[in-house]
Structure 1
Amino acid sequence: MAYQDGQNQKSRGLPGFLPGYPDPDQSHPTVPSNSRKQVSLQSLPPPGNLPPGLEYLSQLDLIIIHQQVELLEMILGTETSNKYEIKNCLGQRVYFAVEESICFNRNFCSPLRSCTLRVTDNTGREVITVHRPLRCTSCWCPCYLQELEIQAPPGTIVGYVVQKWDPFLPKFTIQNENKEDILKIVGPYATCGCFGDVDFEVKTINEKITIGKISKYWSGFVNDVFTNADNFGIHVPADLDVKIKAAMIGACFLFDFMFFEHSLAGL
């Protein structure tokens, strides 16, 4: 399976595809298979050159994003600002994200709305800022498709997520701060996710190797019908650049807006 092939090459093959890494033939430290059990919020690596606040991301190969259920949204049917908890594989909250947008945009522009998502750590410090302008999603508007700007820390651009034109599949590119293509994300033809998970595969630029995935987990028929609260999982190599992991968190927010904002629409 392509995903398994990508995982098998995590220690050697992946760094060669990312700018700034040493030669792929050189040896690289690997993460033990039981690393998920050893991860804790207290065991942070030294800061080094990592963006402040993102040190903990360097340990994670699974990032869970849980959208909070909004009671007012369930009762009145109006779209409220999205809020997300970002957790590790043990369910410990690492970050918290809040959407900033205008009420008019949320209820009339809906999935296309412009907004800013502010990601804070457990001390309340803002560590990631995601800016989303108002843009199109239709394949009939290839020159004005979706684009996110990711800053970490706020004010310092570390990457972009850019939608690419394709008549059949949702395709996106993760770019660095210089707008150089780093990785591609390819989604399925059908993204409704009525009775199962929806996987967006993370691939190398040539799309030959799958190194991870962003999954929208199916939360059950009742929850999908009566709430817009979604659960996502980002599966990536633990040694992937934290800036790219931050961009993938932004991509996860974008997918939620684009494809899963209205649960009833997918049924």
Structure 2
Amino acid sequence: MEPVTSEPKSQYGMMMVSSPSNNYIPPGLEYLAQLDQVIIKQIISACELLSGCEVKNRYILVNSMGQEFLYATENSDFCSRQCCGNSRSFELPFVDNNDVEVLRVSRPLKCNSCCTPCCNQEMEISANGQLLGSMHQEWNFCMPMGTTYSVKNASGDGVFKIVAPCCPCSCGSDVVFEVIGSDGPMGSIRRTWRGLCTECCTDADNFCITFNSNLDVRYKALMLGAAFLIDFIYFERDQQH
């Protein structure tokens, strides 16, 4: 009889597969494969500040030395931004310094203030038209506080979890979302405090994502995409209210 083996299980009860053993890097993500930290800077819009209308979000991704390497502009329509607020659907293509798209984040429209499982938030991350994986909000009575998010690879296998803090409020300090894999912590997604004036006057956010430099680049891309869903769920102001 052959021995029975089992996949590793995290402390949060999710069966998770280990990091891929091959070294495949999707085209365009070679630079990301070398990094152990990515900082996401959202560009403050003067038009949004003056008009109060929600405009397309724009982001710059930089390394720990402050060097820019990816740029993203939200692809959504005017009506959805004004009527659906932070629940809106959008496409977020990332382009490099040569204006070539290397990564894309896609979010469907789902209610962000409903506590029913059918409205759990989702997001897909792809590279060069090929799905890398997806992020799924797990339902609980206190959503979105203390919520756990499962991140799956392209085959639908769970690869890691993202755990939200019980109180995701930024009151003079950073807000940290822990990333937990089958073997323990894999990194973190940190929403950084930008100062009282900036916090009060705009919903532009900065995030710092840390991971092991030798982590599979597809997992890095999934963590990167997850930061944007976290931003919309917790920190993007709902213009409807």
Both structures adopt the same fold (TM-score exceeding 0.5): yes
SS, match of residue 248 in structure 1: helix
SS, match of residue 55 in structure 1: coil
Residue of structure 2 aligned with 1:91, choices 60, 66, 72: 66
Letter in 1 for 2:33: S
The C-alpha deviation readout for 1:15-62, integer Å capped at 9, x for no partner, is x9624338xxxxxxxxxxxxxxxxxxxxxxxxx731111001111111
**Which residue of 2 is the match for residue 157 of structure 1?**
131
Query: Which has a greater percent of helix?
Result: 1
**Which residue of 2 is the match for residue 148 of structure 1?**
123
Shift of 1:247: 1.2
Conserved 8 A contact 2:174-2:191? yes
Poorly superposed stretches of 4+, deviation over 6 Å: none
Letter in 2 for 1:203: I
Does residue 1:59 correspond to 2:54, yes or no?
A: no
Does residue 1:191 correspond to 2:168, yes or no?
A: yes
**Shift in CA distance, 242/191, structure 1 to aligned 2, threshold 3 Å:** same
**Which residue of 2 is the match for residue 102 of structure 1?**
77
Residue of structure 1 aligned with 2:180, choices 203, 213, 225: 203
Q: In structure 2, what is the Cα distance between the partners aligned to 1:92 and 1:263?
A: 31
The C-alpha deviation readout for 1:174-198, integer Å capped at 9, x for no partner, is 1100111000000111112121100
Q: In structure 2, what is the Cα distance between the partners aligned to 1:255 and 1:162?
A: 11
Shift of 1:246: 1.0
**Which residue of 1 is the match for residue 12 of structure 2?**
none
Aligned length: 221
**Normalising to structure 2: TM-score of the pair?**
0.86
**Which residue of 2 is the match for residue 20 of structure 1?**
20
**Shift in CA distance, 139/171, structure 1 to aligned 2, threshold 3 Å:** farther
**Which residue of 1 is the match for residue 8 of structure 2?**
none
Letter in 1 for 2:162: I
Residue of structure 2 aligned with 1:82, choices 25, 41, 57: 57
Conserved 8 A contact 1:84-1:97? yes
Shift of 1:91: 0.5
Q: In structure 1, what is the Cα distance between the partners aligned to 2:153 and 2:50?
A: 41
Share of identical aligned residues, percent?
Answer: 39
**Which residue of 2 is the match for residue 173 of structure 1?**
150
Letter in 1 for 2:187: G
SS, match of residue 149 in structure 1: strand
Q: In structure 2, what is the Cα distance between the partners aligned to 1:106 and 1:139?
A: 18
Structure 2 gap segments, 5+ residues each: 1-15
Conserved 8 A contact 2:188-2:209? yes
**Normalising to structure 1: TM-score of the pair?**
0.78
Conserved 8 A contact 2:73-2:93? yes
Letter in 1 for 2:135: V
Q: In structure 2, what is the Cα distance between the partners aligned to 1:69 and 1:231?
A: 11
SS, match of residue 143 in structure 1: helix
Q: In structure 2, what is the Cα distance between the partners aligned to 1:192 and 1:107?
A: 24
Residue of structure 1 aligned with 2:204, choices 203, 225, 229: 229
Shift of 1:243: 1.0
Shift of 1:263: 9.3
Letter in 2 for 1:166: N
Q: In structure 2, what is the Cα distance between the partners aligned to 1:146 and 1:91?
A: 31
Conserved 8 A contact 2:87-2:111? yes
